[in-house]
Amino acid sequence: TVMLSAAEHTNVVALWARRLSKVPTRVIVNVCTTVSQNFQRTSLIRERCLPFFAYCFYPWADEIVAVSYGVADDLSRFIGLSRQRIRVIYDPVVTPSLFSLAHAPLDHSWFSPENSPVILGVGRLTVEKDFPTLVRAFACIRARRPVRLVILGEGRERSRIELLIRELGVDSDVSLPGFVANPYAYMARAAVFVLSSIWEGLPGVVIEAMACGTPVVCTNCPSGPAEILENGKYGRLVPTENVDALAEAISSTLDTRSNPEFLRQRASVFTVENSLDQYLKLFRV
């Protein structure tokens, strides 16, 4: 019997459950975020205790899997765990249904061919996604050319982002539809997809946008974007929290003809099949 656990709190619970129940179940823990960044940027006591719990209890795991090499290296350094104990298996991001969903009809007038190009961001409206930097970069671009911004997602930072949009005077060209069931239809029709995060683990939205053939611009945050884009081969990387650099990279991408097939080829590394094959070997099936 094998138990696969994901998310830091759940991992600790799973390891304790196995220890207390005294069953022979193998426990594999999955680490999907950059632990050091979570620790440094949170004021929640529960979150700040997690590195200590990981240090104490992750050695009990039969296998430790990180979603990116950056996450694995960070975990090893931050809690003093041998890097050889940590495997890397990329998340199963690209599914067969993604491509059909990308071609589904989209009921948003901004995405019609005759309109201005649309910059797209997707993610929870939380501090780590840093959408204010994207909004400020967009305002810089909008001052020079006709362009629009759509951000999909919900979260506790919505009111702050909406206030910033109004203060910058770009509310007529920014849309925040909230959560949508099919973001791929937006990705496939966007002129450029932008990830503005301060930290990640392996940002699946970047891979999904590439699978849709859409050019991407990412902050070079820990961890994931540099791995996905192979240090800039598949899209521009910029420093985190840098409005001018992000605006310049987006503008340059809008001015450059993209190669959708080139991007799709890279995204194919992150398919369900590839991930499943590696997990089945880990499960010894």
CA–CA gap between residue 56 and residue 49 (Å, rounded): 11
Residues 258 and 122 in one domain: yes
Average pLDDT for 181-198: 98
* Residue partners of 166: CB distance under 8 A and separation at least 6: none
Residues 224 and 125 in one domain: yes
Percent above pLDDT 70 for the chain:
98
**CB of 157 closer than 8 Å to CB of 135:** no
**Would 129 be classed as within a structural domain?**
yes
pLDDT at 9 over 90: no
Residues 78 and 113 in one domain: no
Domain span at residue 254? 96-269
Q: State residue 40's pLDDT score.
A: 76
Which CATH number covers residue 207? 3.40.50.2000
pLDDT digits (tens, 9 = 90+) for 50-99: 788 889 999 999 999 999 999 999 999 999 999 999 999 999 999 999 99
Q: In the numeric block, which tokens belong to residue 168?
A: 């910058």
pLDDT at 38 over 80: no
CA–CA gap between residue 256 and residue 237 (Å, rounded): 15
Question: To which H or E segment does residue 63 belong?
Answer: strand 63-66
CA–CA gap between residue 58 and residue 60 (Å, rounded): 5
Question: To which H or E segment does residue 50 belong?
Answer: helix 45-57
Residues 84 and 105 in one domain: no
Residues 113 and 64 in one domain: no
pLDDT digits (tens, 9 = 90+) for 96-137: 999 999 999 999 999 988 899 999 999 999 999 999 999 999
pLDDT digits (tens, 9 = 90+) for 159-174: 999 999 999 999 999 9
Residues 139 and 22 in one domain: no
| Number of domains forming the structure of the chain | 2
**CB of 175 closer than 8 Å to CB of 110:** yes
Residues 161 and 264 in one domain: yes
Residues 159 and 66 in one domain: no
**Would 109 be classed as within a structural domain?**
yes
End residue of a domain, out of 88, 106, 141: 88
Average pLDDT for 3-13: 91
Residues 10 and 147 in one domain: no
Beta strands 26-31; 2-6: pairing state: parallel
pTM attached to this predicted model: 0.94
Q: In the numeric block, which tokens belong to residue 99?
A: 């491509």
Which residues make beta-bridge pairs with 119?
A: 149, 192
Q: In the numeric block, which tokens belong to residue 255?
A: 């001015």
Residues 33 and 170 in one domain: no
